Amino acid sequence: MRILWALTVGQTLAILLLTWTLLTRVREPAPVSAKPTMAGTAVTAPVVRPLPADCPDAEQLRAIIAEELQAHADGEAGAAEAAPRSHAPPPDPAQLARVEEEIDRHIQAGAISQVDMMRLQAGIARLDPAGRKRMLSKLIKAMNTGRLEGRL
């Protein structure tokens, strides 16, 4: 998506630059004298038409580009704020210890009910990614080795 935006902005800038260059050339009239060509025929100079009154000059074009770029930057910042937060909770040793104690308690009991399993999983969800992986592995490993009877 960023690449697409970058290409769009680049294309817009290129078009504006080309327009500006053309306008500048038009304002600098070429010598009207005809030049002989190799074939001996004369090439007529381009017809210079006066610019319309509402045509922006170079300074105005720069201002427009700056304004567009600013609007684009603001839009990206807004989109980033609106996007859901992707980072997980930070490590919390106390929460990790609580979850681990709960798993150990169920292992000691030898079984875990469906309700307790859901409660436990909700607690695991509040851990940081490393903690989640560790606790889910501990839980499932206990089930796989027959130390804990229960279903996910």
Q: Which residues bind other proteins (CB under 8 A)?
A: 84-89, 121-122, 124-126, 132-134, 136-141, 143-144, 146, 151-152
CB of residue 144 to other proteins, shortest distance in Å: 5
Q: Shortest distance, CB of residue 124 to other proteins, whole angstroms? A: 8
Q: Which is nearer to other proteins, 75 or 89 (CB)?
A: 89
Yes or no: say if 42 and 34 are a contact pair by the CB < 8 Å rule: yes
Residue indicated by tokens 């769009």: 8
Q: Is 124 exposed, middle or buried (0-12, 13-18, 19+ CB in 10 A)?
A: buried
User: Which C-beta is closer to other proteins: that of 10 or that of 91?
Assistant: 91
Residue 98 C-beta: closest distance to other proteins, Å = 13
CA 71-76-79 angle, 5° bins: 125
CB nearer to other proteins: give 72 or 138.
138
Q: How far apart are CA 138 and CA 124, in angstroms?
A: 11
